[in-house]
Chain A
Amino acid sequence: MSFWRIVLKSLKHHRFSSGLAAISIAMGIALLVAVYSFKEQSHNTFTQAGLGVDAILGPKGSPLQIVLNAVYHLEDMPGKIKWTYFKEVEKEPIVAQAIPFAVGHSYGGFRVNAIDSRFLTEFEYLPGKTFSFSEEEDGQGRPFSAPDEAVAGWGAAKGLNLNLGDEFNPVCGVQEGDPVHEQDLLRFVGILAPTGTPHDRAIYIPLETFYGLAGHPQETAIMADVEEYREISGAYIKIRRIRGGAMHPGIQDLKFAINQSDRNQLVVPAEVMPRLFNIIGWVDRVLIAIAIILTALSALFLFFSLLSALREMRRDLALFRALGATRKTVMGLVISEALIISFLGGLLGLAVGHWLIGVGAHFIKVETGVGFTAGYLSLIDWLVVPAVIVLGILAGLLPGIQAYRLGVLKNLSPVS
């Protein structure tokens, strides 16, 4: 009978306490894995990818508010900018692409973004990736080409159960109870294939349609025809790349120049979002601390269950010694048991943690359009195995030392 078979027999003998210890470790690890994965994935999504937007030309106001509104379809835009100013910025040599948009409408709880049609055909939401209507990719239809046409992001279409040809009246505002443009009926001609970005959570209509919606004041309606009066909420700006794909450094000068104006500013999401994460980072830290405390408590539980098991095992261990096992061997038996419990708990924790990410990712995608991946491997995933090994050794060390010190004769048969 091998050493490991003896360990497994012993585990089987006190399987209830071993199982509880493994499950408690799994809970701690699962929470740690899930929290850390969400933290890393959200950080990557919100700060590194930039969702294809190098900068946002917007009105004066909170830069964070502008990013949240323009990119994540949250909050409100703090004002408007002049079309003529936008055209000036568009001509800047380092500006590769400028896509104007006007926000402030909604439908069924989803934001309606009136936007330049190039957004649907040319804009790269990730490097090399433009929006797709391909049915193979779960998209449908085509981009809008007439004022009464609209395109739904994948999440909005799912959320509203939209089909091509469905019609809707946009709501003038983003709050419940805001007035409806009852005379303006728009028709969905396309549904975007999923992108795993907040772009999925919006409805897109032609920019010009925004100005012509019935019910808007005369000064807005005239913007449809006279460009010098026209106003927009902002514009997505793509900056030219230099060697290695880096953004042209001239963006800092451009930002400085634009920010000198009284009414406009250039906001770089990659600069703003980390600030947001610094503000809300304490939530991550608290959750991670809770997960670490939970894991440490589970190690403590393992320690006590091993001590308890050791009391039952004293005679067996003494017998192993009598049969020729050395002190180190019986110590190894106890520590190996702790290691196996801890290792199995760790593996179970990894599996449950990724399952939790999968479940959470589904809800987050439906609510925000941000795609999280259950299979994403965060730093913690790589640390779990060595961590549970250390945990097992630590939890098993003292019971192991007690086994090492166990008196053979004292724990065997009575002396005649």
Chain B
Amino acid sequence: MVSKKDNTIIDLESLEIVFGSGKDALKVLDIPHWHVEEGERVAIFGPSGSGKSTFLHALAGLLPPSSGRLTVCGHSLEGMSEAERDHFRAQYIGYIYQNFNLLQGFTALENVLVGMTFSPHKGDPEEAEHLLSEVGLSHRLKYHPSQMSSGEQQRVAVARALANRPKLLLADEPTASLHPVNKEDVLRLLLDICERYGCTLVVVTHEREVISLFKKTVTFLEFNRAYQSPAEGGS
């Protein structure tokens, strides 16, 4: 399963994701080739419904490739069993969601600790507290998500995504649910924290102002051959 390639974090070829089968089959991803080096910060820009999230899910091992080759952090995801993909995710991937996806019954500290639970790297409360202080929330450790602003919740989500010391941080519209004032703060935090923790960052967004902060950007419409814009009569 392991196919190391120097400093390459993502390497894919002819990647296809198809939902359903037979005449109901719907191809949502068809990407001929893509390559990301370790430490790169990449923004993928595209409209809603273009398959950006599906692409991140495939990179995270949440969706198996229907065909093609997909290597992430040196591991070939095609042909991996679901349990192997679970372990892969726990070990290498940090994931930030548009709507934070925090556990409502857990405090900020516990949310970060849960991020360590399934990882081979077993962290401790001190490390979780450190991560929260890194995102500026050392004063909110015992707060539940409902007691925090959306900006603070996304910071907790960032801390949790870092809890398993991931090699690859995937962020799905991380600023879409935030107040405009907070958007740039959170993005700068992400970039800064990836720099410090040595993570590779892939952000998908439909917000043009976001991509200005990234040196490397990809326009998903050109990137994903399966997508047809509404003008072209597609989804």
Contacts and interface: CB of A to CB of B under 8 A. Distances in A.
Interface of A: 1-3, 6, 9-10, 12-13, 315-316, 319-329, 408-409, 412-416
Residue among B52, B90, B119 with the most chain A CB within 10 A? B90
Given A9-B110, A327-B86, A416-B50, 8 more contacts: A3-B117, A9-B106, A315-B101, A323-B89, A412-B101, A413-B101, A415-B54, A416-B98
A320 B110 CA distance: 13
A416 B204 contact: yes
A326 B87 CA distance: 8
Given A9-B106, A327-B82, A409 B117 contact: no
A323 B90 contact: yes
A318 B93 CA distance: 16
B64 to A, nearest CB: 12
Q: Determine chain A's interface SS by DSSP, over half rule.
A: helix
B66 interface: no
A327 B91 contact: no
Nearest to A329: B118
B206 interface: yes
Contacts of B176: 416
Contacts of B119: 324
Nearest to A14: B105
A36 B35 CA distance: 71
A321 B103 contact: no
Given A326-B83, A327-B82, A409-B62, A320 B114 contact: yes
Contact of A327 (B48, B83, B99, B204): B83
B101 A1 contact: no
Interface string B49-75: 110111001001011000000000000
A151 B113 CA distance: 73
B164 interface: yes
Contacts of A327: 82-83, 86
Contacts of B99: 413-414
Contacts of B63: 409
A50 B62 CA distance: 72
B78 interface: no
Contacts of B54: 415
Contacts of A323: 89-90, 95, 114-115, 117-118, 160, 164
Contact of A1 (B91, B114, B173): B114
B227 interface: no
A416 B105 contact: no
A325 B103 contact: no
A9 to B, nearest CB: 6
5 contacts: A1-B110, A9-B110, A321-B86, A323-B115, A324-B89
A416 B57 CA distance: 11
A319 B103 contact: yes
Given A9-B110, A413-B97, A416-B98, A326 B86 contact: yes
B33 to A, nearest CB: 23
Contacts of B57: 409
A324 B173 contact: no
B40 interface: no
B16 interface: no
B116 interface: yes
A324 B164 contact: yes
A409 B19 CA distance: 13
A13 B49 CA distance: 35
B30 interface: no
A315 B103 CA distance: 8
Contacts of A9: 105-106, 110
A324 B101 contact: no
Contacts of A329: 118
B117 A2 contact: yes
B172 interface: yes
Contacts of A316: 103-105
Interface string B76-90: 000000110011011
A315 B89 CA distance: 18
A325 B86 contact: yes
| 3 A-B pairs closest in CB distance | A324-B90, A1-B113, A324-B118
Contacts of B114: 1, 6, 320, 323
A14 to B, nearest CB: 9
Nearest to B161: A323
Residue among A6, A328, A415 with the most chain B CB within 10 A? A415
A1 B111 CA distance: 9
A325 B115 CA distance: 10
A319 B103 CA distance: 8
B62 A413 contact: no
A416 B86 contact: no
B145 to A, nearest CB: 12
Nearest to A12: B105
Nearest to B47: A416
Contacts of B110: 1, 9
B53 A415 contact: yes
Contact of A416 (B52, B82, B89, B90): B52
B179 to A, nearest CB: 19
Contacts of B172: 413, 416
A329 B48 CA distance: 33
Contact of A408 (B62, B91, B98, B113): B62
